[in-house]
Structures are given as C-alpha cells and as structure tokens.
Amino acid sequence: MYPWLTEIVAAILLGALPLLFPYKPTKSDNYLSFADLKHKYQKWEWFGLITLIIFLPLMILAFGQLLQYLMQWEADDNPRINYQLFIDHDLWYIPALFMAVSLIYFPIRIVYSIILTSVEYTEYTLFTNLKHGYDGMKVFRPMAWVAGVIALVMIFFMSDYYIKIWNYKIEVNEFKGTGVKEYNFKQVKKITYVEYTRSGEDGNVLTQDPHYHILFTDGNVWDTAKGLHDNRHQPEIMDFISKRFNVHIDTLATE
C-alpha cells in the first residue's frame, strides 16, 4: 500500500543492527589496521555480492525443482480417484527461497576458502565487521535458523494440501490444517465460475483470472484460485462435479 514505508522500515532495521549485534574486536583481531584491511579486502566485498547474486537464484531453482520432483510421489494411484489436485508447482519456489537463504552461507564460504587462505578470510571477516559495525555471523545465524524453520513449516503444510475427487465424494485437505474433510454428493451446495478478479486500492482494476468457488454445506469454500487448481483440466473437472453431484454452475463476472 505504501512502498516508501517498506524502505523506511528496512533503513531502520539496517541502522539498528550495530546496536543489536555490536562488533567488539578482541586482541586477537589486531592483524592489520582498518585502513590496511580496507585497502586489501574492500574489493572482495563486491565479489561476495556477486557470488550471492549468482548462487541464490541457482539454489532457489535447484531446491524448487527438487521439491517439485519429491511431491510427484504424493499422488495416489487408486483407480477410483478421478482427479487429484495438488499445490501449484511454481509455489514450491517459495519454501525453496527460504531454504536458499538458510543455506547460502555454505557455498559462499566454500568459494572464499578457495580464493583466500584461512588467515586472509579471518582478516576479511574482521574488515567487514569493523566496516559495518556489527558481527555478520551473529546477524546471519538467527536469520538462517528462522528461514530454515519457515521453509520446513511451509513444506509440511504444502505437501499435505490437496483435493481428491472420487465418483462419490470430494476429499479436501486444507493448507491451514492436517485433517481431511470429506463431502458426498449431497454436501456440494453451489459452484460458481468467476472470470475476473478486482485489484487496486479502489478495486477498479480488472484482471482476467478464471477460477471456481465450490461451496459446501458446512460453509467451507474451495477456491481454485488459491493454489489448488489445474488450468488445463479445470473446466473439465468442474463439469464432472456439476454433473456427478447434480449442481448447476453459476457465473459471476467479478469478485
């Protein structure tokens, strides 16, 4: 809503790092003066940024592909299941991002261990800590742990998020829970086809986003726009549900 607010918050957080994680040099840190360290290692900061830009997208891609591959084994081979819908493949890149952030230190550290000796790497770390005023590892470690936990939680819930459509029932396993809800043909109350989605502050921007809402008698709604859908077979699936469960498909221009 307010892009400038994000910039202000980010600036405040960065400014607070030296206060939250102050770096206090020890006697063993006195290898070179800061001026000498700067002259010797300032160029390697740019190298670190370049390696981050290279490795982070590669790790996101690799982890995303790995998660997509592993989730293929979640499919049920029961022949009585007509359709199975799992979370969109592209959404697996979200936990992959957190996994990459959690583990990005290791490939960068390996690269530095190749180009710098152990003493040089210690001096380089000292230079970056002195320059920025905070202990980089004390900042990164909790951030990595938090990112790793977020990734694991997302993977747990996303892998347990599915819809299975049988001849006589629909199984719904929602993202926010681990329990399965089953609905028979009498519990499908309404099916609505939505063609456009409103966006923008005033809701005056229309985006073509064809999807369906399936309302069950307990008030639960399966919204195919929220991760569980199959764009190619979506009309076919809804037509099957409509005919099998004897529920007419209504049309709603926008939501």
Q: Hey, what are 202's tokens?
A: 């005033």
| Average pLDDT of span 38-59 | 85
Q: Which residue has the higher pLDDT, 46 or 205?
A: 46
- The string of pLDDT tens digits covering residues 132-165 is 776 777 777 888 999 999 999 999 888 888 888 8
Q: Which residue has the tokens 């600036």?
A: 11
C-alpha span between 120 and 112 (Å, rounded):
10
pLDDT at 27 over 60: no
pLDDT grade, residue 30 (50/70/90)?
low
User: Percent of the chain, pLDDT > 70?
Assistant: 78
Please give the pLDDT value at position 233.
Answer: 76
Whole-number Å distance between alpha carbons of 90 and 83: 20
State the pLDDT at residue 59: 95
Residue 196 and residue 218 in contact, taking contact as beta carbons nearer than 8 Å = no
Q: What is the mean pLDDT of the chain?
A: 79
pLDDT in tens, 201-233: 666 666 777 788 888 988 888 888 776 556 667
pTM beyond 0.85, yes or no: no
Render pLDDT for 86-135 as a digit per residue (tens, 0 to 9).
888 888 999 999 999 999 989 988 888 888 888 888 888 888 877 777 67
User: What strands lie across the sheet with 169-173, from one edge to the other?
Assistant: 81-86, 162-166, 169-173, 180-184
In angstroms, the CA 3 to CA 212 distance is 32
Give the whole-angstrom CA distance, residue 255 versus residue 253: 7
Q: What is the pLDDT of residue 15?
A: 53
Cβ–Cβ under 8 Å, residues 224 and 212: yes
Specify the pLDDT at position 8.
59
